Amino acid sequence: DVKVTQSSRYLVKRTGEKVFLECVQDMDHENMFWYRQDPGLGLRLIYFSYDVKMKEKGDIPEGYSVSREKKERFSLILESASTNQTSMYLCASSTDPGGETQYFGPGTRLLVL
C-alpha cells in the first residue's frame, strides 16, 4: 500500500513564525502535491512538484514556498505565518506518467495565533 506521511498531525504557531510542514512518501512517486482544505472551499492546490528540485505553483501559492531536495520528500514552508493560513494541510503523491490517482497523507491541522 502507498504510504504518505506528514510530520505533524496538529501544529500551533504564532503570527510571523516560519513554519515547515514535511511530507514523505514511500512509493517512489514522481509527483507530489500540497493542498489546503477549508470548510466550504474544498481542496485547493498550493504547489506541486513533478521531479526533484522542480516546483510549480498551484492555485493559491501566495505566502507559501516548497522544497523538493529528495524524491520522497516534499516540504511546504510558510515564510511568515498569518492567521489566514490556519487550515488543514494535505500532502499527496502520484506516479507519472498518467498517474492521476493521488494518494493522500493524514493531514496537518495548523492553527496560527
Partner 1 sequence: GESVGLHLPTLSVQEGDNSIINCAYSNSASDYFIWYKQESGKGPQFIIDIRSNMDKRQGQRVTVLLNKTVKHLSLQIAATQPGDSAVYFCAENGAGANNLFFGTGTRLTVIP
- Residues contributing to the site for partner 1 (CB under 8 A): 4, 31, 33, 40-43, 45, 48, 50, 58-59, 90, 92, 94, 96-107
Dist CA 16 CA 35 (whole Å): 21
Q: Nearest approach, Cβ of 60 to partner 1 (angstroms)?
A: 11
C-alpha cell at 53: 528540485
Looking up cell 490517482 gives: 101
When the beta carbons of 38 and 79 are compared against partner 1, the nearer one is 38
Q: Nearest approach, Cβ of 27 to partner 1 (angstroms)?
A: 13
Residue 92 is which amino acid?
Answer: A
C-alpha cell at 100: 492521476
